[in-house]
Structure 1
Amino acid sequence: MFGMADMDPTGGLWNWAASSSLSGERVQGALAGALERTVISLDAEGMDGAVLCDVYHVSGDFPTLIDVYLAPETIAETTAASAVAVRLEVEIILPDDSLNPTRYVLADPAGGLRHVHVDEVETDDGPERRHVRPCTGDDPACAAAPEDKAA
């Protein structure tokens, strides 16, 4: 259902945003628990086989940006994001499989996944995302991806 977000087209790179301001240590701990692997920050001295995680902050409704490097290929990104959202008790958004730049997958604190639209503005600090709304298919911004239209 969530296609590209479950594939690994970037060789283990995940880019997420969380709906609360969170410390890097808290995010890394939740990610380590969800993946059942060692997670370290980018500036930590290397541990072979560890997942790398960079956490930084911007303004907007999703102020914590989470970049995960060397993500395991055996775990679907949406599954990992959902597990981390539950552990952190926040919403997390991640890119979806459409070519629509405003459409994301939202992982909620109860473990659910759904498509949403988010307004994004690029800033010097990184992308700020605001105004989350459901992907209903009723307006042009919510148009279904071409693969969804085949019947």
Structure 2
Amino acid sequence: MTELWNWRIDQVRPAEVWPALAEALGRVVMPLAVANPARLPRYAVVCDIWQAPGEFATVVDCYGVPDTLAELPSIATLARLLDRNCVLRDDTLDETRHLLVAPDGTIRPVHFDVREADDGEVLSGQRLCTEATPGCRGWSRCQRSRWAPDSVLPALAAA
């Protein structure tokens, strides 16, 4: 178990996320607050789900995810089950750039305005990562990503 996943979901209460997350992962999902590492079933995933300010305000952290689970199909399944858009960080190390995962399973790069607050990171001002945006062309980090500006891919093909 080596993976740590951090996702955000658009307009959903944490209570709705727990059962959908368990179904999406095909695992028992244990809340971080009550998980006892000495008594965890081998197939369990420890998660923390909370509300933050801004867009995509429901935050999901999954700890110790088995490397046999693939992140992109898992988040695509969660987006479908909740019928909500989800976001996760992309591969550019640009704090403003994320991948938007739609309920239909498509993935596209987007940017947000990001600021730190007492309750954590606040995302606002969602916009597509596109060649029409000066900051996304040329020698930008966006061009070095496997998720090129203007790309739209199905989650299973992207895994």
TM-score using structure 2 length: 0.79
CA contact (8 A) 1:103 1:116 kept: yes
Mean CA deviation greater in 93-102 or 39-48: 39-48
* 3-state SS of 1:78 partner: helix
Please give the root-mean-square deviation of Cα atoms over the aligned residues, in Å.
Answer: 2.0
1:146 aligns with 2:139: no
Q: CA deviation at 1:106?
A: 0.7
Question: 5+ unaligned residues in a row in structure 1: which ranges?
Answer: 1-7
1:103 aligns with 2:109: no
* 3-state SS of 1:29 partner: helix
Question: 5+ unaligned residues in a row in structure 2: which ranges?
Answer: 149-159
1:73 aligns with 2:67: yes
Matches within 5 A, 1:1-151: 11-23=2-14, 25-46=15-36, 47-49=40-42, 50-142=44-136, 143=140, 144-146=142-144
Q: Percent identity?
A: 36
* 3-state SS of 2:65 partner: coil
Larger Rg: 2
Whole-angstrom CA distance in 2 between matches of 1:87 and 1:140: 36
Q: CA deviation at 1:76?
A: 2.0
CA contact (8 A) 1:99 1:145 kept: no
Tell me the residue number matched to 1:5. Answer: none
Flag the 1:17–1:45 CA change in 2: closer, same or farther, 3 A. Answer: closer
Number of residues paired by the alignment?
139
Mean CA deviation greater in 25-34 or 52-61: 25-34
Q: CA deviation at 1:48?
A: 2.4
